[in-house]
Amino acid sequence: MTDQPHYTEYDTRLGAYAVVVDTVDGRAQVLLALWNEPSRPQWTLPGGGVDLDETVEEGAVRELREETGYDVELVRLLGVDTWVIPVEDRTTGSRRPLRNVRVIFEARIVGGELTHEVDGSTDEAQWFPVDEVAGLDRVALVDVGMRMAGLSPGRAGS
């Protein structure tokens, strides 16, 4: 017998994210968004929660547009990552653990232009050379996605 909560006893959040890489002057760059919640700003993969009435793919495309200004085409599914937030670490006041299910795609830009999200969970989007990502204050999702894409981000910040 396990003392882990039954799936009806925890919350689940479905998120869709993308690794977007472009080459500028012969140097690979990755697109990141500055997440402004819950404590200090950190860089993350662009993406976010999937709405109830959309597919995971639609959610990824919508979130990329909202957070970066770019229209993207999903190239391939890179993988799925899960992460559990214990009840004592929840910032929403919920008394239940939260399982985050994060679906990560590779995407390419097909239109739009770089803009910053207004009144959202991110403040800005920016391109970073892949070899400089290790020096950024970033969430672990950046490293997870980059590894899935075959890139080497280095070690995540705290």
For residue 117, give the 3-state DSSP assignment.
coil
Say if 154 falls within a structural domain.
Answer: no
Whole-angstrom Cα distance, residue 56 to residue 46?
Answer: 14
Say if 153 falls within a structural domain.
Answer: no
| Neighbouring-strand partners of residue 84 | 99
Say if 141 falls within a structural domain.
Answer: yes
Domain total of the chain: 1
Say if 1 falls within a structural domain.
Answer: no
Domain interval for residue 25: 7-148
pLDDT in tens, the chain (158 residues): 567 777 678 899 999 999 999 998 888 999 999 987 767 789 999 999 999 999 999 999 999 999 999 999 999 999 999 999 898 888 777 789 999 999 999 999 999 999 876 656 667 899 999 999 999 999 999 999 999 999 976 544 33
Q: What percentage of the chain's residues is helix, strand, coil (to nearest 5)? A: 20, 45, 35
How many CB atoms lie under 10 A from the CB of residue 141?
A: 22
Whole-angstrom Cα distance, residue 142 to residue 156?
Answer: 8
72-to-46, 95, 109 alpha-carbon distances in Å: 11, 37, 4
Give the domain CATH number at 72. Answer: 3.90.79.10
pTM for this entry: 0.87
Say if 117 falls within a structural domain.
Answer: yes
Say if 2 falls within a structural domain.
Answer: no
Q: What is the dihedral of CA 57, 83, 79, 124, to 10 degrees?
A: 60
Say if 157 falls within a structural domain.
Answer: no
What are φ and ψ of residue 63, in 5° steps? -60, -40
Say if 155 falls within a structural domain.
Answer: no
